[in-house]
Structure 1
Amino acid sequence: MKTLILSSFATIITAVAVNAQDLEQVKKTIDAEKFSEARKSLKGMVASAPDKGKNFFYLGQVYLALEKQDSAKIYFDKGKAAKDAGHLNLIGLGQLELLDGNKSAAETNFTNALALSKKKNTEEQIFISQAYLKAATPDASKALTAAKAAVASDPKSALAQIALGDAFVANNNVNDAYVAYRTASELDKSLLRGPMQLAIITRNAQAFPEALKAFNDVLVTNPNYGPAYREKAETNLAWAYAKKSVFEAKIAEALEDYKKYMSLTDVSTDARIKYADFLILSKKWKELETEALSIQKSDKINPKVYKYLGYAYAENGNPEGAIKSLTEYMSKVDAKRVNGKDYLYLGKAKLASSMDDKGVITNQTKFNDAVANLTKAAELNPLLNTEFTEIGIKLYTGKAYLEAAKLFELAVKNTSSKSFSRDSYLLGNSILFYAENKTEAQKAALTAEFARANQAFADAIKASPNTQDAYYNKGQLNRVIGTKESNAQAVLDYEGYVKTVIAKGETETSKPAVKENLFDAYSFIGANYATTDKVKAIENFKKAAEINPADTFVKESLQALSK
């Protein structure tokens, strides 16, 4: 959805009818996504024609496309005083307020802009609709209201139909979005964004071959239309992630398409930054490092370069370089722009510097610092759970069980993940294995950990009731805890294990490891029932004896109970 809306952006901010010939040319430049070139032209235009408010507004929009909000505000503030269409800049300022989460202030700006507009306010409503969609917290409902107002103001405006399509997509109404984009294409056959948006809808339905054909049809109309190559690249990338067997082939095609896109747009720092974003999605870490270093040589002030270097260094085995670069990045940008993945990579880099190749912690302070960053990553983006699982398994393999538990706790924050049951099981195991050889005094300090482990095993069982080892290890945990209450719970856990295993039949019960666990479970259950339920105790000891008739404890227990 985000790609679809962003791909409409260039059309929305460029194709609204204006009289100035130089602005018409800039519009074509922006539509080709040569934002740096457009910025240069617009700067000259606002200097030579300070009474033209639209020039300021479009320049501010270009800065927003380049993620430079401070610069955008400067030109919106200057442009709102212009005699000709200065009110458009109030919409730009409202858009900035929405990006900062100030909805009330934004709506005041929008209301003032509409009050100053002409009766036919199509373009104002279009921009207001787009502002709601690109807000820090998008408001799809208000975006749709504004888009419908734009269409009502001018039913024959292809751009209003594009805005309407974007709003419908944001409201999860793909069918009406399709109609709106198709109508836009019929109203203005030269407007390539209409068929582009239709192709994006096709791609989002995972009809990748059909989407690629649609983008190629756009390129037949205009072989040098760069944005179509970018969307082809996105389509091949989506195909690569959807089907592992074609990953490498489609990634290669995607990168070629994106290089073509860059060759047809401007090879500015801004375009190269976008290419770096694409390399991250393509998992081309060596290429990302090379590209980021190259960008750094030509643009030493762009903070995103530090982010890319941090990611690349982390993936390419240079944790200290990653820590330095990501710390630099976070110090240079607004805290709102630092996302979960940024903290993930910083945490991974710090983690790597705190342990050896076998996953053994060598620096506890660095490890604790890494966990703090990873915790922040989980708070910002619980969907990163697979990353936490991967790190946790490495620690678990290195027998750093308590440390592994901290990572599995982050993984299970995403309760809807496909690996939730497994991650919960590993969390329980981590605490069990850490605690099983501890002294009574040491175990007394693990009350919170034991409660968490019991809950983790319970979560694993609830998510996957046939996972027999979760029952067994939960029983083991409660035996390790060793209180009267935990021993009673262990009996219930072992009974759950027995029931689950027996239900699977002889194929399962005949396995050596399972027989050993069954013997252990029956023996413990029998021993705990010995003073409260003689019949159950004898029943379980007899089952234990069937598995291992030579066991002294079982034989002696049966003899004592039979007297």
Structure 2
Amino acid sequence: MNKFKFLSVAVFASVSALQAQNIDEVKKQIDAEQFQKAKTSLKSIIKADPSAGKAYFLLGNIYLNQSVIDSAKIVFNDGLKAKDAPHFNNIGLGQIDLENNDATAAKAKFELAKSQARKKDFDEYIYIAKAYMDNSHPDYKAALATLAVAKEKNPTEPQVLLALGDAFYGDKNQNEAFSAYRNAFQADNTLIRAKMQLGVLLKGAKAYQEAVAAYNEVIALSPNYGPVYRELAQTYYYWALNVPGRYDQYIKQALTYYEKYMSLTDYSLASRMRHADFLILAKDYKALEIEANKMKELDNVNPRIYRYLGYAAFENGNYDAAISSLQSFVNNPSNKVIPLDYLYLGQAKIRKGTNADGTAVDAALYAEGIAFINKGVELEPSVADGLGDLGKKFYEKKMFKEAAAILEIATSYKESKSFLIDNFYLGNSIYFANAGKPVAERDMIALKKADIAYGHVIEASPETVDAYISRARTNSLLEDDQAMIKYYQEYIDHITAKGPEELAKPTVKTKLVEAYNTMAAGYANFDKPKAIEHFNKTLALDPANKYATQSLKTLQ
């Protein structure tokens, strides 16, 4: 009997050792972002040993990483029933609570997990910290507080230091993040991610050349470490944005590195989706269309594929396919629709409804398109950035009403790089849409928006002199003589300050004549001497001006 007991203990110890060895191998796969391989490994471990609670937890975490929350929840709940280390699964369920904005429920589950940890254990604290960081509402202060306890227990543990680096980086404390990553790598020089993160810090500081050098050091140590190629791809992408002259060169390099990353991780549907997201950033829509069709072959029913198909179809000029794909996606209530979905769908409707030479639109399709774009902007104002280009295309075709509808959305985002010029085009679009119309037919509400738009231009750039004359013309259509006179006078003051050479230009002379005549006509309604004075100013510039001559005769 004693011999039997001894053998049982020995067998149990060997199984536990094998399980730990397998889990360690899975952790390496997860760190290398080989998620499909890790999922397969974990399912095999669970099948062979259903008591492996940590295997459930790691599998659930992968599902969370891939935003498959329902599957993650099922796995975590199954893991709670496991015999060995079930408490880790409370950490996973706590992260789901954080996703649902229930910090109180999450904290209770985290405390329960900690209460079942042994005195020297630190894994629980690392995973709790990651849960605080890796969700839609990250709380880096809570992560740092959790890791401070782990560091007290294990001050030189590399994994604790690595997690601290991530928390400090998220909390925008670059110096402490650098120290933590450096110390983690010094404590364990096989911890490649810690060294890679030193390059990530440089990328965040826009020191792109130095970041690339740091990544190359990582490649020299571990040439098959996939994540470093993803970081290189992202670094070249941001570098391209910051050096427009080398945009094409750096984007091509970025895409090459992302392909390398894919080859070293996996070509699963989840990975292809991450690749598709990067292709959207890099604006490689031909490649996006190819990738989307490959994803469709893998999983014809996954709704997110319709997003990629829609984006690619729009950018490649196939507006019917774009509308069909994106309409299918946004109409499904179970899909998480993002602002860009509405933006693309709205623009596709507008392009579909615009004739070949861009001089006429289908009013119904156009209205639907504007409504979808507005939905996107309501969710995230920054998606309006860049819409001004579409508005200007309608403006150039003299479709001023259509241009104004788009430019009004574009100017709703005050941080836009083209905010000033978009406001100028918005004001002009509304002005020209109403100029020449009888008072009863003018859109007075829109004209007031034009006045505000010109006001934004003047506030941001007081030396944009044409904004004053445009604002004066708009107030003339609004029949606000006082405001009209004020802005014409501001135009005159600014143009006069530029000196005789500017005043001698024929275009300036024409505008001054317009200003003096229109001001005089306004003054005629309430100040006859001022009206006479301004008509005389017109005649000083243009003695043969018939309007001023005839008006003076009437006034005198």
| Coarse TM-score class (shorter-chain normalised) | over 0.9
For 1:544 and 1:133, the matched residues in 2 are separated by: 69
Mapping 1:277-296, distance limit 5 Å: 277-296=277-296
Matched, 1:310 2:310: yes
Q: SS of 1:387's equivalent?
A: coil
Residue identity matched to 1:513: T
For 1:433 and 1:222, the matched residues in 2 are separated by: 63
For 2:257 and 2:424, the matched residues in 1 are separated by: 43
Q: SS of 2:385's equivalent?
A: helix
Mapping 1:80-479, distance limit 5 Å: 80-332=80-332, 334-335=334-335, 337-443=336-442, 446-479=443-476
Distance 1:60 1:378, change over 3 A: same
Distance apart, 1:101 and its partner CA: 2.5
Distance 1:270 1:91, change over 3 A: same
Deviations 1:272-291 (A, max 9, x none): 22222222122111111112
For 1:258 and 1:491, the matched residues in 2 are separated by: 60
Distance apart, 1:150 and its partner CA: 2.5
For 1:424 and 1:242, the matched residues in 2 are separated by: 25
For 1:60 and 1:512, the matched residues in 2 are separated by: 74
Deviations 1:277-309 (A, max 9, x none): 222122111111112112211221332221111
For 2:535 and 2:448, the matched residues in 1 are separated by: 30
Q: Between Structure 1 and Structure 2, whose CA radius of gyration is higher? A: 2
Distance 1:252 1:438, change over 3 A: same
What is the aligned-residue RMSD (CA, Å)?
A: 2.1
For 1:128 and 1:223, the matched residues in 2 are separated by: 31
For 2:498, the equivalent position in structure 1 comes to 504
Deviations 1:385-426 (A, max 9, x none): 333111111222222222222211211122122322221222
TM-score by length of 2: 0.92
For 1:228 and 1:402, the matched residues in 2 are separated by: 50
One of 518, 522, 526 as aligned partner of 1:524: 518
Distance apart, 1:368 and its partner CA: 0.9
Q: SS of 2:84's equivalent?
A: coil
For 2:363 and 2:42, the matched residues in 1 are separated by: 54
Q: Is the 8 A contact 1:35 1:66 kept in 2?
A: no
TM-score by length of 1: 0.91
For 2:525 and 2:427, the matched residues in 1 are separated by: 30
For 1:508 and 1:416, the matched residues in 2 are separated by: 33
For 1:287 and 1:527, the matched residues in 2 are separated by: 62
Residue identity matched to 1:294: K
For 1:150 and 1:505, the matched residues in 2 are separated by: 72
Deviations 1:96-146 (A, max 9, x none): 122232323222222222233333452222222222222222223222222
Deviations 1:173-226 (A, max 9, x none): 111111111111111111001111000111122222211111111111111111
For 1:216 and 1:551, the matched residues in 2 are separated by: 74
Distance apart, 1:332 and its partner CA: 4.7
Distance 1:507 1:101, change over 3 A: farther
Q: Is the 8 A contact 1:432 1:477 kept in 2?
A: yes
For 2:536 and 2:206, the matched residues in 1 are separated by: 59
Distance 1:88 1:77, change over 3 A: same
Q: SS of 1:413's equivalent?
A: coil
For 2:488, the equivalent position in structure 1 comes to 494
Distance apart, 1:438 and its partner CA: 2.6
Q: Is the 8 A contact 1:114 1:121 kept in 2?
A: no
Residue identity matched to 2:316: N
Deviations 1:152-175 (A, max 9, x none): 232112121122112212222111
Distance 1:296 1:222, change over 3 A: same
- What is the total number of aligned residue pairs between the two structures? 540
Residue identity matched to 1:454: D
Q: Is the 8 A contact 1:165 1:177 kept in 2?
A: yes
Q: SS of 1:190's equivalent?
A: coil
Mapping 1:521-560, distance limit 5 Å: 521-530=515-524, 532-533=526-527, 536-558=530-552
Residue identity matched to 1:402: K
Structure 1: unaligned runs, 5 residues or longer: 1-16
Structure 2: unaligned runs, 5 residues or longer: 1-16
Q: Is the 8 A contact 1:100 1:136 kept in 2?
A: no
For 1:554 and 1:498, the matched residues in 2 are separated by: 18
Distance apart, 1:519 and its partner CA: 0.7
Higher relative contact order (CA 8 A, sep 6+): 1
Q: SS of 1:20's equivalent?
A: helix
Q: SS of 2:386's equivalent?
A: helix
For 2:166 and 2:18, the matched residues in 1 are separated by: 23
Residue identity matched to 2:115: A
For 1:9, the equivalent position in structure 2 comes to none
Residue identity matched to 1:318: N
Matched, 1:515 2:509: yes
Q: Is the 8 A contact 2:386 2:418 kept in 1?
A: no
Q: Is the 8 A contact 2:385 2:417 kept in 1?
A: no
Deviations 1:493-535 (A, max 9, x none): 1111111222222343233222211111111222333464455
Q: Is the 8 A contact 2:385 2:413 kept in 1?
A: no
For 2:515 and 2:116, the matched residues in 1 are separated by: 80
Residue identity matched to 1:67: S
For 1:121 and 1:542, the matched residues in 2 are separated by: 92
Runs of 4+ with >6 A deviation: none
For 1:28, the equivalent position in structure 2 comes to 28
Residue identity matched to 1:450: L
Distance apart, 1:479 and its partner CA: 1.3
For 1:27 and 1:134, the matched residues in 2 are separated by: 17
Distance 1:398 1:107, change over 3 A: farther
